[in-house]
Each structure stands twice: as structure tokens, then as C-alpha cells.
Amino acid sequence: MNPIVSVSTWFVNLNAWFQLPLIAVISYLLGSIYDGMYLEKMEEELGSVDEILADGRIGEITKWLNEKIHWYGSTRTPKEVIAAVCGKEVSAQPLVRYMKKKYTRLYGFSEEA
């Protein structure tokens, strides 16, 4: 095999190997950002999700998700769904607030951190 072809094939394969995990990380991050926005809106409308789950009222959450998100299927882009459900543009702030609250309570971190 030609050494140039071999090296270029190796580089392309290595490049693809690094890109796939990056795509997965970005996709996972976007999903988490969307979830943070949905959770904030859901709690604004239904109350504490932790309390709803503790009371075994998961049907309320399922109904909210079905009416606000699932009903529209792929007729809306994620950006359109966020705008329709949350009334604002995509933002990581709800996720950041959720994580600060959760980990401050869980590990006793300072509120200022």
C-alpha cells in the first residue's frame, strides 16, 4: 500500500473518531439545556417536580409533556418548541440555576460559588 494513502486514511479515520464523541457531547449538552428550560417552565406551571414524583403523580408530568411538546412531533424545530413552551429563546441559564440549586443542597456548597 502506498504510504501516503495509508497515512491519509489513518488521519481521516482518526479525525472521524474524534468528531463522533464531540457530536455526541454537543447533542447531549443541547438536550440538557432544553431539559433545564422545560423543567423550569413545568415547575412554574405545576409546582415542584420532586414533590409531584414523590406523591406518585407522574401522570401530571406526562400530560404536560404530551400537551406542550410531544403533541407537535417533528412539525416544530427544537428552537420553535422552546419558544412556544417557554416563551423565550434557548438559554443555558435554567440548567445552570438547576445545577447550582441541586449541588448546593446535595453537597453543601456555598450559595456564592
pTM summary value: 0.74
Cα(3)–Cα(17) distance, integer angstroms? 21
Q: How confident is the model at residue 25 (pLDDT cuts 50, 70, 90)?
A: confident
Q: How confident is the model at residue 112 (pLDDT cuts 50, 70, 90)?
A: low
The pLDDT value given to residue 6: 43
Please write the tens of the pLDDT for every residue from 26-70. Answer: 888 898 999 999 999 999 999 999 999 999 999 999 999 999 999
Residue with cell 445545577: 99
The pLDDT value given to residue 14: 53
Please write the tens of the pLDDT for every residue from 58-106. Answer: 999 999 999 999 998 889 998 999 999 999 999 999 999 999 998 898 8
Conformation bin of residue 88: beta by default, left when phi > 0, alpha when psi is -120 to 50:
beta
- CA-based angle 62:65:69, to the nearest 5? 155
The DSSP result for 5-64, as a single string, is HHHHHHHHHHHHHHHHHHHHHHHHHHHHHHHHHHHHHHHHHH--HHHHHHTT-HHHHHHH
